[in-house]
Each structure stands twice: as C-alpha cells, then as structure tokens.
A = this chain, B = another copy of it.
Amino acid sequence: MSTLAERIKNQDQRALAKAITMVDNDHPEKLSLLSEIATQKKHAHFIGLTGSPGAGKSSLVDRMITHIRSMDKTVAVIAVDPTSPFSGGALLGDRFRMHKHFADPGVFIRSMATRGSLGGLSRSTKDAIRVCDAYGFDYILIETVGVGQSELDIMKVADTTALVLTPNSGDVLQIFKAGIMEIADVFVINKADLPGVQKLKMQLKEFLHISDQKDWKPPMVETITTENKGIADVFRACENHRDFLNQTDAGKKKRKQQLTFEVYELIREELWKDVERFISRDPSKEIALQTENDPYQLAKQWLLEWREKGGGE
C-alpha cells in the first residue's frame, strides 16, 4: 500500500483532500507528511489574488480557472475565508459561483478558514498550498477576502501577487495606507468599463513613485470579468512576473524570505503547542487567571516553570 505522500504525488484527488483535512485539523502525522511532501516540490506558479471586498476577486478567479483549463493546464484554488472569533466557522464556506468547475479533475477548489487569533493566512492554508504543489498542479491560486492581514501575508507564499482594484472605489488611499499597495506585482483594474480608470491609473503611478523602487514595475491590466475581457492579459502579466523572478536575483531572494517566514512560524507554533499543553495540564493556572491581574508576572513565572521542567518534553 502506498503512503499518502506517494498517492498525492500520483495525483490521487482523494488523497489530496484527505491530506488537506489532516493539515487543517492539525493531525499528529501532519509534520511528517509535510516533510515527506516537501521533497516532492514541483514548483507550481503560486498566484495570490487580493483586493478590497467587492472588487471582483472571486469572479476573476473563476475566469482564470477557465482560461488555465483552456490551455490544458491544471489549477488548484485555495480561497481564504475570514473566521468569526466567536463562531469559529468559515462563513463564506460555499462559493456557489465556482461549483461548475467541481466536476473537472484538472481543478481543485478548497476554502480554508483564517483560524486562530493571529489573523492572516493560517498555518493550514500555507500547508494546503504545499500539498497542492506536491500533487503537481500547474497553477495554484490563493484568493483572500479583503480583511487586512491576509493580504499582507499573501506575499509570504505567492510567487506573484495580483491586487484587484476598481475605478472610483476610493480604496486606493486605504490600501496604500495599509501597506497593501507595495505587495502588488500586478495591478488588475476590474470593472474597467466604469468611469475613472484613467484617474485610478494616475493614482497608482503616483503611489508607485513614492514607494520603494524595485526592479519590477507592476503592470496595470484592465479587466471586465463579467464580460470575460482582459483575463489573458492578467495571466500574461503574472507569467511575465514569474519569468522576472526566475531570471533575476529577485526570485532567489523572495524564496529565501518565504522559507525564513515559514521556518520561523513553524518553530513558533510548535513551541507554543508545548507551552499550551504544559499550562492546560495544571489546574492551578486556571485559578491564577481568575484571581491575578499581572500578566507580566504570570508569563514570567510560567515560562520559568516550563523551562525547568525541560521545555515541554
């Protein structure tokens, strides 16, 4: 019987779905699976799509899937849903628009929650992307819903990040302020049949001018997703950006940066799981949280105790 990692490599979609559920549920075998899979890296093109709510990201993703399939290439879509801090569930779980692709074996679509209190892309989202890469998709699209940190996180996993904007939305300044402008490798101006396209382009040029100069000048691509216009241009812009990464130092630098982010995050999470286990085993800590009010003293003391007991081993 072949291992799960082998089955994924052999493009077994059920194994793929199972592996993603494993990473999503933080299964004990998760890290060994991911480590096994890491050696199977196939270098899909990771394209992140972000932008303000209502800019038309989902519909762009839908069109891009069709475009990629028309070239006989395969594609996985990881859609990141915000999670309510109370309900803990993904509210946008079902994306009806995409259901027409579900029967196509060259397309894989999965929604992931932004679980956890830290916001942004969850660990499991990043792991799911790696599993999709090991499976051998040609393209992996990562779509984030526009609520902040996940936009900034997307550059930690995507090769190419496309920022979707619309004319006259008034978002540009907010996006700039939030630092999201600077992560864009491609600007997609969707709903380009609306007035204000020229003004938006001018604003973007101004912002690019005052931002850090990079070797790559993000192109501005106009689309009307409702009419299927401009999709091939978006795609070409993304491909050009990948060529740029492959042909210059920028790609090497980006990969190192992304690996560093990932290693650091993994270490933080593993350590924290240990400490949390240590804390939850001791009922007196629960009582301390009800009676004390100095978090600094508690943190110091518990950390010391944890270390004395051998750091969670």
Contact = CB atoms under 8 A, between A and B. Distances in A.
Nearest to A39: B294
Interface string A93-123: 0000000000000000000000001111000
A256 to B, nearest CB: 5
A272 B261 contact: no
Interface string A13-30: 000000000000000000
A59 B118 CA distance: 29
A290 to B, nearest CB: 6
A183 B174 CA distance: 22
B149 A120 contact: yes
Interface stretch (A78-86, A193-201, A220-228, A236-244): A78-86
Q: Which of A145, A152, A261, A307 has the most CB of B within 10 A?
A: A152
A300 interface: yes
A207 to B, nearest CB: 11
A295 interface: yes
A252 B293 CA distance: 12
Interface in A229-280: 252, 255-256, 259-264, 266-268, 270-272, 275-276
Contact of A261 (B117, B211, B264): B117
A92 interface: yes
A84 B181 CA distance: 9
Interface residues of A, number: 72
Contact of A271 (B153, B256, B271, B297): B271
A87 to B, nearest CB: 7
A82 B177 contact: yes
Contacts of A272: 264, 267-268, 271
B148 A83 contact: no
B303 A82 contact: no
Given A148-B149, A259-B292, A86 B299 contact: no
Interface of A: 31, 34-35, 38-39, 41, 53-54, 82-87, 91-92, 117-120, 145-150, 152-153, 155, 170, 174, 176-179, 182-183, 211-212, 252, 255-256, 259-264, 266-268, 270-272, 275-276, 289-290, 292-300, 302-303, 307, 311, 313
21 contacts: A34-B296, A35-B294, A35-B300, A38-B297, A54-B170, A87-B212, A118-B119, A118-B120, A119-B120, A119-B152, A147-B148, A147-B149, A147-B177, A148-B148, A256-B289, A262-B299, A263-B299, A264-B276, A267-B299, A268-B272, A271-B272
